[in-house]
Amino acid sequence: MPHALDVSLSLAWLLACGTLGLVLLLILSLLLLRWVRWRREPQLQAFQARWRRLLMRCALGDDVQNELPLLQSRERWPFMKLWLHCQMSLHGPARDRLARLAQTLDCGPMALSRLNSLYAAERLMAILALGFLKDASAQPAVLEQMRSGGSQTVVYAARALLEIDARAHADEVVQTLLQRQNLDLSLVSVLHKPFRAQLQQVLLSQAPAASSSDDQILPWLRLARALTLQLPAQMLAPFLTDQRSTDVLIAAIRLFQGESGRGMVAAHARHEDWRVRAQVAQALGQIGMPNDADVLVHMTTDLQWWVRYRAAQALLRIPGLGPQRVRSLISTTQDRYAANMLAAVMAEEGTAA
Amino acid sequence: MNPSMPPNNKPDMQEKQQHILVIEDDDFMGTLLQFVLERQHMQVTRVSDGRSAQAWIDQNPAADAVVLDLMLPQLSGMDVLTHLRQHPAWAHQPVLVLSALDTGGDIARAFQAGASDYLTKPFNPEELMARLRHGLTQSQGVERAARA
């Protein structure tokens, strides 16, 4: 028995020492990494200051070819990051000048080699760089990334292909974006902003028919919203029937713009799913007119908090109503939840009654 | 036509150097704007958050024009714009909003808050300068008319 106790104590002691040793090792590694970073910081800053200025001068049209310092191999990737930052900040002829500069510095092969990097951030940057370099020979590699990459890679590769040749790739990009599930649509919206016009044109030509299934309609509506496609109310009408799924209804309501579709949107104010009702209230806040006040006042008495909240917001946003009129309209409901919600929204928006 | 944007010749000594307040939180974008403006012999003051911008506006004479980002830390660009327009010395200075926000609603709200012009990011340096110069010329015209 005492022997077993001795073994347990020794084991506990060993474990404690081992844990302490590992913690010390971790702290030392962190300190070492900080020290390395601290040592490199001045070099990095000097590098950035030198190259930033050159890139900016190049972007504005100066001939900097004869002033380019030798780019060492360990500097190539930091340069690429800086160059991409510059590309993403500017548009117009400045971007073509920057592309020519990077071609001179032979950045294409480096970007191609990083397509297989273990780090996702590096792969995505390499894809974008190939696009901004406008190197047609990189198209097969980027196409492959778009066809087989993950949900973010697809969006980056699509942007790169559009940069290389928007006319040639717009169709395939739209097809791919429509087919991919779990697409990061906010990323699509941001990254494809410069090519919205071309993509919108293709998307419009592929609009689903009224007889299409919800599985076909939903990705189309979501992509249309990400690309800020403006559609006439009549085109959206077939997607607003009661037979459609909740997701399709919500996606279609989000696309309504202008007052002509108000009636179609308001028709779903009593939909059984509260998410549709909340979306109706939100949409009426953007496209509604004083005639829609009755619908919205009724919605402020909804059982769901979100519906009441959106309806109160919408009432205050409708042109021509004003806080006083809204308050008197709400008082007719004699619903204290509606009155409370209106007071909360008015306080939130700093609206004087 | 040369599409590039060469540095402006030295301004006439009689001509007052124009002072531009750049309110931009992204260091790279701020540096880029400063570079573009200084190349045209403008004096640039850079501020990187909404609260510092508000303090700067309160404590300094009005700049000739402002380049303003909307998504700023601490205080939004829209709040800075509203504050600026309430300040008598800054009420009529041209404010060019330079923002990544590009929906009709964002642009309308910026103009309602008092923006003189709106440009979306990424931007074209030539366009930025043309718009800024237009704003400065208009504001000088208004000033001259007021004095007359």
Q: Give the pLDDT band of residue A181 (cuts 50, 70, 90).
A: confident
* Residue A149: per-residue pLDDT: 85
Is the pLDDT score of B51 beyond 80? yes
The pLDDT of A191-207, averaged and rounded, is 91
Find the residue in B nearest to A56 (Cα). B32
Cβ proximity of B90 and B119 under 8 Å: no
pLDDT in tens, A158-170: 999 999 999 999 9
For B26, which residue in chain A has the nearest alpha carbon?
Answer: A89
| Residue of A45, A81, A82, A91 to mutate, interface with B, max B Cβ within 10 Å | A91
- Rounded to an integer, the average pLDDT of B34-52 is 94
- What residues of chain A lie within 8 A of the CB of B4, using their CB? 60-62, 93, 97
Q: List pLDDT tens digits, range A66-86.
A: 888 888 888 888 899 999 999
Per-residue pLDDT at B12: 53
CB contact under 8 A, A89 and B35: no
ipTM for the complex shown = 0.84
Note the pLDDT of residue A5: 72
Please identify which residue in the block is written with the tokens 């360990």: A74
Q: Does A234 or B67 have the greater pLDDT score?
A: B67
pLDDT at res. B1: 40
pLDDT of residue A210: 84
For residue B142, pLDDT over 80 is answered with no
Give chain A's largest Cα–Cα span: 89
Q: Do B126 and A92 lie within an 8 Å CB cutoff? A: yes
Asked whether the bond before B3 is cis by omega within 30 degrees of 0, the reply is no
For domain B19-147, give the CATH superfamily. Answer: Response regulator (3.40.50.2300)
Q: Residue A50 contacts by C-beta under 8 Å, 6 or more apart in sequence? A: A69
Interface of B with A in 57-96 (CB under 8 A): none
Q: How far is A320 from chain B (nearest CA, A)?
A: 16
Whether B2 has its CB under 8 Å from any CB of chain A: the answer is yes
Identify the weakest region by mean pLDDT among A3-12, A33-42, A333-342: A3-12
- Look at residues A266, A234, A265, A272 and name the one whose alpha carbon lies nearest to residue A251: A265
Mean pLDDT of chain A: 90
Torsion, Cα A177 A183 A188 A191, to 10 degrees, reads -110
**How far, in Å, CA of A83 to CA of A47, rounded?**
13
> What pLDDT score does B99 carry?
95
In this predicted structure, the answer to whether residue B11 has a pLDDT above a threshold of 90 is: no
